[in-house]
Chain A
């Protein structure tokens, strides 16, 4: 493996094995989507090409086997093999790209829709910017609110968002995309409580017109829950997952 050509082949093969099969084997991991495998491999390929060509001597040695395979009479079988294998691989990839499949195409879903500055909840106007969970003002009663939130969650949210709040409720397999996973560091951990309140209250029908088409089966919970009940369930989500809600930046000019 001292020859740069075989080093390059070895690095690429190793990278593919690690990304395709190594990462999914790690504890708590899952398979890597094909789009990400491609992205990683392109990056590694760029790195390998830089490595073999940033030094004149190494670059010359790297090209030697390629040139030899193209011109040396003794390597005719390799040449012919290449002429057969390369078009076959390209054809196979092209076939894979164009063949029709019975599954939905990949979805570029945006996870965080932009919240409006203000909403109307059951006829009452609410400013979301700078809004904190009002129940947090009563620190002594928090256990009671959280217990109420837990009851509300199990009565209403469990079928989709699951017993472990991981988006894997028993209805979940029927949805694409899956219901939000609150245990993930990219959902409620990144958001203010007022954002979560807005999403629960307005659900799929209340998503903004920007970024459409949306794919959400979330009901509009303001039709079924009171304002306080929604705040209670928001408290429960943060308490149960251990995430801290995003807080507002306090400035001299007010809250942002």
Chain B
């Protein structure tokens, strides 16, 4: 009898709570709209950060190349903003028609913040128009500073918009504990709902990830223009642009895992079962895939740098060492990607005595994985350092000592990582968790101190020759494409992980998903959905790139053309 009552209750809960969407279903439709909207949002938040920093470097360093670079990207933003808004509208309409009851709940809690969101988006758009269309008018003296201020303001609006949207989705994951299913949503204090347990970790994580994403997209754009370039000069310009994009993407990527770790820790602390679902339960396979993809990022990023050394006079001094760095990266990728619970058939399971390998299983736990990723970060940093130093020779009297100190710092950081990685096997879990902080601390300290020494040591350094921009083989540019595609796919994958751990809850333990889509999708289905979102986004971005070239000429100006123009000005 009780089963019948439960079924009746479920039917009553579900009536008019959900709509239906043809072919891919309601969940599929919202999934695609939310993910593509998010990817565009990351694009229009990451690229302005990139643009304003590039403009500032141009102003401070009096290097016009950076100013042109910033403008070229701001032009792409105009179209990308429209695409973001369109996908945002699609998402809103789909939510209100396919999930009306849940949407009503969310609007009851967050209504005023949604109005503010729309207002800020309005300000953001008009600041962007002023920023772009005022570029030539305000390009000198004090007006240039005002223009730079507009760029900063654009980022401020964009960041606040992101913070507001983040509060909605983090509330769905980690609503404050004092709110119960019977709490009237209209009675929940707005700030109380916004400042939930995962709001700030997500804010920081997304802010850094947007910089990474912006850099990667810039790199992909530059590689596309490099491959299509007609002249050596144009190739040199886009080679340089690709390098800058990659440099920013990889630099920000190095700190991204630490922000992700904080987010994961907050999820565990909020609700252990959610944390277990994410890391040890049925979502754990996503982390193996993630490890593999991040290993691809590290390998592709380093590969690009090593090929790039071919165009730097003096880099041949460092060439013999890159193979050892590669070995560390490959071994790190193998360790990081080793699953704890292995995919095995019955024969293999019987031979292993379960789904954990008796020997390799030791590589599937956090001690091994944290050590591997920290060593990969150190290796990537060393690649950067060699690249940076390639065409210079320090002349300060303490250069030799300084280099030894730097080497010592690398050695100490690697030893700290390995020491706590090995010790982690012999202590209980609660102690082991704390060890990752020491490992991260050692790596970060090494990065900060070694960079400081390097900057001081580089003062007045003897140049071994200028970088031969443009002298890059085409395959190096495909590495930049790989980076952009992998970053985009990773965003889709981790977005699914973050959203999927709510399982059959729209709002964790407050609003239950009683639709027929309440089951968590299989990995294969999820992979297809993520790939579809990535394909839609990249196709649209390619269209935006093409439009950028169609609307206006590239900001690259060949020197012959420049001379003609200058000649014309003189003539007048």
A residues in contact (CB < 8 Å) with B: 23, 26, 28-36, 39-40, 43-44, 46-47, 50-51, 53-56, 59, 103-117, 129, 166-168, 173, 176-178, 180-181, 184-186, 189-190, 209-211, 244-249, 251, 256
A-B contact pairs, 21 of them (CB 8 A): A33-B357, A36-B342, A46-B330, A50-B299, A54-B303, A54-B307, A105-B345, A106-B344, A107-B343, A108-B341, A112-B281, A116-B273, A177-B354, A181-B354, A181-B356, A185-B362, A210-B277, A210-B281, A211-B281, A246-B429, A247-B430
Known contacts A51-B326, A211-B281: A184-B354 contact under CB 8 Å: yes
- How many residues on chain B are close to A (CB under 8 Å)? 69
A1 CB to nearest B CB, Å: 14
| Contact call A211/B282, Cβ cutoff below 8 A | yes
Q: Which B positions have Cβ atoms within 8 angstroms of A?
A: 268-269, 271-274, 276-277, 280-282, 284-285, 292, 295-296, 299, 302-303, 306-307, 310, 319, 322-323, 326-327, 329-330, 333-334, 337-362, 364-365, 425, 428-430, 473, 475, 503-504, 520, 523
Q: Are A117 and B273 in contact (CB under 8 A)?
A: yes
Whole-angstrom distance from the CB of B534 to the nearest CB of chain A?
20
Take A111-B280, A112-B276, A246-B429 as given contacts and tell me if A30 and B358 are in contact as well, using a CB distance cutoff of 8 Å. Answer: yes
- CB closest chain-B residue, reference A247: B430
Instruction: Kindly identify which residue among B274, B284, B319, B430 contacts A110, using a CB–CB cutoff of 8 Å.
Output: B284
Asked if A30 and B272 make an inter-chain contact with CB atoms under 8 angstroms apart, the answer reads no
Pick the contact of B357 from A30, A39, A106, A178 — CB < 8 Å? A30
Residue of B nearest to A27 (CB): B359
Choice from B272, B327, B429 contacting A129 with Cβ under 8 Å:
B272
Measured CA separation A189–B273 after assembly (Å): 17
Asked whether, in the complex, the Cβ of A184 is within 8 Å of the Cβ of B356, the reply is: yes
Chain A binding surface SS class: loop
The complex places the Cα of A62 from the Cα of B323 at a distance, in Å, of: 16
| A43 partner, pick from B272, B337, B349, beta carbons under 8 A | B337
Please report the C-alpha to C-alpha distance between residue A39 and residue B292 in the assembled complex, in whole angstroms. 9
CB neighbours (8 Å) of B268 from chain A are 256
Which 5 A-B pairs give the minimum distances between C-beta atoms?
Answer: A112-B280, A47-B330, A211-B282, A114-B273, A29-B359
CA distance A106 to B339 in the complex (A): 14
Name which residue of chain A comes closest to B520, CB basis.
A210
Residues on B with C-beta less than 8 A from A53 are 307, 475
Q: Which residues of A contact B352 (CB under 8 A)?
A: 30-31, 33
Other-chain residue from A29, A35, A113 in contact with B343 (beta carbon distance below 8 A): A35
- Which single residue of chain A is at the shortest CB-CB distance from B329? A47
8 new A-B contacts at CB < 8 Å, known A35-B342, A112-B276: A54-B322, A108-B343, A110-B282, A111-B356, A178-B354, A186-B365, A210-B520, A211-B520
Instruction: Determine chain B's interface SS by DSSP, over half rule.
Output: helix
- C-alpha gap A166/B353 in the complex (Å): 8
Which residues in A have their C-beta under 8 angstroms from that of B303?
50, 54
Q: Is the CB of A39 within 8 A of B356?
A: no
Query: Which residues from A are CB-within-8-Å of B282?
Result: 110, 210-211
* CB <8 Å contact, B341 and A109: yes
Q: Which residue of A lies closest to B341 (CB)?
A: A111
CB nearest neighbor in B for A190? B429
Instruction: Please give, as numbers and ranges, the residues of chain B lying within 8 Å of A106 by CB-CB distance.
Output: 343-345
Given A30-B357, A54-B306, A55-B310, does the pair A47, B326 have CB atoms closer than 8 Å? Answer: yes
CA distance A190 to B364 in the complex (A): 12
- The answer to whether A23 touches B360 (Cβ under 8 A) is yes
For the complex formed, measure the closest distance between the CB of A49 and the CB atoms of chain B, giving whole angstroms.
9
B316 nearest CB neighbor, chain A only: A55
Nearest to A194 among chain B residues (CB) is B272
Interface centre among B362, B425, B428 (most CB of A within 10 A): B428
Instruction: Please give me the residue from chain B that is nearest to A166 by CB atom.
Output: B353
Complex Cα gap A177–B361 (Å): 16
| A55/B319 contact (C-beta < 8 A), A47-B329, A190-B280, A210-B282 known | yes
Measured between alpha carbons, how far is A27 from B375 in the docked complex, in Å? 27
Is B356 a contact of A104 with CB atoms below 8 Å? no
- A185 to B284: give the CA distance in the assembly, Å: 17
Are A256 and B272 within 8 A (Cβ)? yes
- Whole-angstrom distance from the CB of A111 to the nearest CB of chain B? 5
Chain A residue with Cβ nearest B310: A56
Q: Which residues on the B side are within 8 Å of A167 (C-beta)?
A: 353-354
**Known pairs A115-B273, A210-B277; A28 contacts B358 (CB<8 A):** yes
Assembly CA distance A30 to B364 (angstroms): 15
- Of the listed residues B282, B333, B337, the one surrounded by the most CB atoms of chain A closer than 10 A to its CB is B282
Q: How many angstroms between the C-alpha atoms of A177 and B349 in the bound complex?
A: 8
A68–B520 Cα gap in the complex (Å)?
53
Complex CA gap A167/B330 in Å reads 34
Alpha-carbon distance between A151 and B173 when the two chains are bound, in angstroms: 44
Docked-complex contact A117 and B361, CB < 8 angstroms: no
A33, chain B: closest CB distance, angstroms: 4
The residues of A that contact B360 with a CB separation of less than 8 Å are 23, 29, 32, 36
Cα–Cα, bound, A187→B269 (Å): 21
- Of the candidates A39, A103, A105, A114, the one whose C-beta lies within 8 Å of that of B274 is A114
